[in-house]
A and B are shown apart, each in its own frame.
Chain A
Amino acid sequence: MSEEKNVVSRRSVLKGAAIGGAALAAGGALSTESASAATRLKGSTVKWTTRGGGATGDKIAKAVNDAFTKKTGAKVVAQQVNSDDFQNNFAQIMQGSPDDAFGWMAGYRSNHFGEMGLLEDLTREIGRLKGSLPTAAIKGATSPVSKKPYIIPTTYYPWGLHYRKSMVKDIGMNPEKINDWDDFVKLMTLTQKKGLVGYSLGAKGGWEAMGTFDILNARINGYKYHIDLLNGRAKWTDARTKETFKYFAQLIPFMNENVMDISWDGMRDLLLQKKTGAMMMGSWFANDFKAKSQADYDDLWVVPFPEINPKFGVDTIDAPLDGISVAKNGKNVTGGKALAEFWASPEGITEAVKAGDTNIYVSKSFDTSGYDAFNKQKLAVLASAKNIMFFLDRDARGDFAGPVVGPAIQSFIKKPSDINKILENTQAQWEALPKN
C-alpha cells in the first residue's frame, strides 16, 4: 500500500480543501450529487453513532459532524455507545431503528450484514472518493461475495511485535534488529533468564491469542493458506495447520503462567511494567504508554512479526480496517450516506485529526509529516506487508471464529499435546456449519 501514499498528491488535496473552503472542496461529498439530493439534505436530521472512544471520541465526532452541518445544512444528532455492546447487539440494532451512519469494521462484520440487507451498498460514495482512497483499502472494504462495499474505509492499525527498546538493549541485543525467528527466540530466552516473562499472552477473552495464531500461520504457510483455512477452503487437520501449532507450542514455555487469567490489558500492563520481553498486539494501546509517561512511550517499539518461512518473508500483516457504514433501516439514508462520505473525505479527516484523532487513515490525503518516531514505525510496519488480514474474528464467519476457534486456541494453550484432537473437532465444527 506504500506506493499509493503519494506525499505530493496528499498535500495538494489538503491544500485544495483549505483554499477552496467548504463549498468548493475538490473530492467533497456533494459536488457530484444531484441538486435535489442536496436540497433534501438541507434541514434534515442525520443520526450518528460513535463506537466508544470516551471524551476524545465525542470531541472528534462533534468536530466532523459540525463541519458537515456547516457544509450541507443537515443537522447531526450524535451518540456514543459502548463498543462491545454495540457489536454484540449489532444485528438487533440494525433491525430496529438504527442511527443512519456509524463507525464500523470491515471484513466479515460488514460484508455479512450487508449481504443480509442491513447495511447500504456504498459503491457510489466510494466511487466519488476514489481520488483519495487507495485501491487496496477499497478492495478490503468490498465483499468478496457480493462484490459490493458496505463500508467506506477510513482507519487501520497494525498488529506487530511490541517490545521496549531499553529492555532489548539490557540483554545485549540490538532493538532495531529483531528480524527472524532466531532473534525472536533469543530475545525471549534472554528475557526469561532475567526472571521475566519472555512472551506475554492473554487468552481470557478468547480472542487475544488469535493474533498470535494469525501471524504464525501467515508466516509459515502464507496469506493465501490462512485465508483459505478461515473460509473452509483448507482443512484444520492439514499438516500445514499442525506445523503452525508446532511453532505456537514453542512459544508456550516463554509465556506468563497466567495466560488464561489475563486479557489484552493485562498483556499491556506486563509490557508497561517492564515485565515481558515481547508481545504480539495491535498498536492501539500505545496511547496508554503515552498517558503513563513520555519516557515510556519513547521506549516502546514495534516491528513486523519475524520471518519464519523465507518463501513468505514478512509479507502479511493483521491490520484491521475500520470505516463508516450506513444502516439500511435508518430514517435518513441519503443523509447517512452523505455523512459517511464526509467522514471519509479529506475534509472530514482533517477535522478529525484537528480534534485529536491519532488513528492512521488510509486516505492519501492523510498527512503524516508531523508523526513521531513510533507512529512512523507503525506506518513502516504496515508498509512492509503486501497482504492485509483483518484479524481472525473479522476474516472468518461470526458463528465460527468466536464459538469455535477461540476456545480451540485456548484448549491448545492449556494442553498442547491435545492438538490433533482439537483440530479434528475444529474441522468437524466447520463442516457442521450451515452453508450460506
Chain B
Amino acid sequence: MKTAATVKKNRSRRSLSKTDRFTLATFVGIPTLLQIILLWVPAVVTIILSFTYWNGIRLKDIQWAGIQNYKNIFFDNPLFYQALKNNAIWLAFFVLIATPLGILLAYQIDRGIKGHAFFESIYYLPVVLSLAVIGIIWNFMLQPGGFVQGLMGRDIGNAISIWGNPKINTWVILGIASWRHIGYIMLLYLSGLKSVDPALKEAAAIDGATDWQIFRKIILPTMQPVNIIIVVITLIESLRAFDLVYIIYGSPTIFPLLNLLVFQNFAGQGISMKGAAYAVILLLLCIVPIITYLRISFKEDLK
C-alpha cells in the first residue's frame, strides 16, 4: 500500500496542469492563509502578551512584565494548582475509565449482542447534546432545590451538597462528562470496527484465539488510525474542558480548571494578561503530548 501511494504521489506531481496547480493553490492556500490569520497570529500575539501587563483596552498601556505573570501563577495562586489537579484527574479518568469503556461498548455492540441497536442509540444519545446543555440538565437535577434533591425529599435548606462538596463534586462532574464521552468514543470506534475484515476475526477464532486475544492481537492493531484519533480526542477533551463546569458554577473558583482560569482572567471585568499566561500554559500542556504522540505513531506507521 505504501508503494502504491508513493507511485500515485509521483505520478500526480508529474502531471500537474496549470488548472490543477491553480486549484491546488486555492484549496490549500486559502485555508492556510485563514489558519495563519485566525489562529497562528492570535496565538503568537497571546504568547507575547503573556509577558506583559495590560488591561486589554489601550495599546499604549501595555507594559513589559517579563515573567511576572507566570511567577504569580506558579507561586502565589492556589487556584492554579487546584486547576492543574482537576485537569489531571479529568485526564486520568478519561484515559483509564471513560475511553476504555467506550471502546468496550463499541466492541460488544459490534459483536451484535442482543438488542445492540437499542444500546447503541441509548449510549449515543448524550453525544448529540452539547456539554453546555448537559450542564444545564444536570444542574437542574442536582442543585439544591433541584429535581433529584426534591425526589429525596430535600429542600434548599437541607439539600445535599454536591457541586460545592470537594469530596464528591469531582466524581459527579467526571461521571457526567463521561456520560457523553463514552458515547462519543463508542461511535468513533464502532465506525472503525465496521471496516475490520470479519475474515480476520474468524481466522483467529478458528486458530483457537480467545476473545481477549482477538481484541488485543487483531482488532487493536488493525484499528491503529482510529486509535490515534481517539487518544488525541481524549487528551484534548480532558485538557480543554470548560463548558460543562462553567454552566454549572458560573465562576471558576469552586471547581477550577485551566480553561476557566484563562476565561476569568482574559474576559470579563478582571482582564489581565495572566489570562494570556494561563492560555500559554494550557497550549503547551495540550500541544507537547499530542505532537510527541503523533510523531511516535507516524514513525511506527512508516516502518
Residues of A within 8 A of B (CB): 87-91, 95, 109, 113, 116-118, 196-197, 203-206, 256-263, 266, 269-270, 273, 275-276, 393, 398-403, 406-407, 410-411, 414, 425, 428-429, 432-434, 436
Contact = CB atoms under 8 A, between A and B. Distances in A.
Given A204-B163, A258-B144, A398 B253 contact: no
Interface of B is mostly: loop
A407 to B, nearest CB: 4
Contacts of B162: 261
B157 A402 contact: no
B29 interface: no
A270 to B, nearest CB: 6
Contacts of A269: 145, 156
B251 A262 contact: no
Given A204-B254, A270-B156, A429-B76, A258 B161 contact: yes
Nearest to B143: A261
A428 B55 contact: no
Interface string B251-264: 10110000000001
B138 interface: no
B253 A266 contact: no
B23 interface: no
Interface residues of B, number: 45
A259 B251 contact: no
B166 interface: yes
A117 B250 CA distance: 30
Given A260-B254, A263-B250, A436-B55, A403 B156 contact: no
Interface in B68-118: 68, 71-72, 75-79
A260 B271 contact: no
Contacts of B272: 399, 403, 433-434
A312 to B, nearest CB: 30
A434 B163 contact: no
Given A275-B155, A429-B77, A403 B63 contact: no
Contacts of A257: 158, 161
B270 interface: yes
Given A258-B144, A399-B265, A428-B76, A91 B56 contact: yes
Given A118-B57, A261-B162, A87 B269 contact: yes
Given A95-B57, A428-B75, A436-B55, 10 more contacts: A91-B56, A91-B269, A203-B164, A256-B157, A261-B164, A266-B144, A275-B156, A399-B272, A399-B274, A433-B272
B146 to A, nearest CB: 10
B281 interface: no
B76 A262 contact: no
Contacts of B208: none
Interface in B139-171: 143-145, 155-166
Contacts of A204: 163-164, 249-251, 254
A434 B157 contact: no
Contact of B157 (A196, A401, A429): A196
A205 B78 contact: no
B161 A407 contact: no
Nearest to A400: B270
A432 B164 contact: no
A255 B71 CA distance: 36
A431 to B, nearest CB: 9
A405 to B, nearest CB: 10
